[in-house]
Amino acid sequence: MGTLRVKAVCFLLFKDGRVLMERCSKKAERLGGEWFIPGGRIELSDTSTFDSLIREMEEELGCSPSNCEALSLVDACGPTDPPFLMRPYLVRKWHGTIPTHCLDQTDNLLRWVPVEEARQSPVTVIRQILVAVQNMKIES
């Protein structure tokens, strides 16, 4: 087996003891209908995972990171996926406002979830990432 490639980024945003989660479209090939940490694939035009972070946050939330930290790479493949790695980022501060029309409504894509609830996720990689940040200062 060859070297695993970093193919995606995700970003953790925390507020008032809650973490921002995204419900993947039911049509998505991976994690359809599941709640996940927002993020996306690294594109050929991205020169680094940080470039991917900036682009994905702008695309998904309309905001940009102003204080963030790259976390250790995680194996993000599921039982039927080819192996790949994902770079999680802890975003302590951001510029812009997360659109309120996407928040706290069960039929929309984004929701602030209590951290303890997110830690119960059936998605292994979410639990791994949240364990990695549990002893860090996550909000500033």
Give pLDDT tens digits for 6-40. Answer: 899 999 999 988 999 988 666 656 656 778 899 88
Structure tokens at 110: 């984004």
Structure tokens at 26: 């039911």
Please give the domain boundaries of the chain with CATH numbers for all domains.
6-133 (3.90.79.10)
Residue ranges of the chain whose pLDDT lies below 70? 1-3, 24-32, 78-81, 100-108, 137-140
Q: What is the Cα–Cα distance from 9 to 125, expressed in whole angstroms?
A: 12
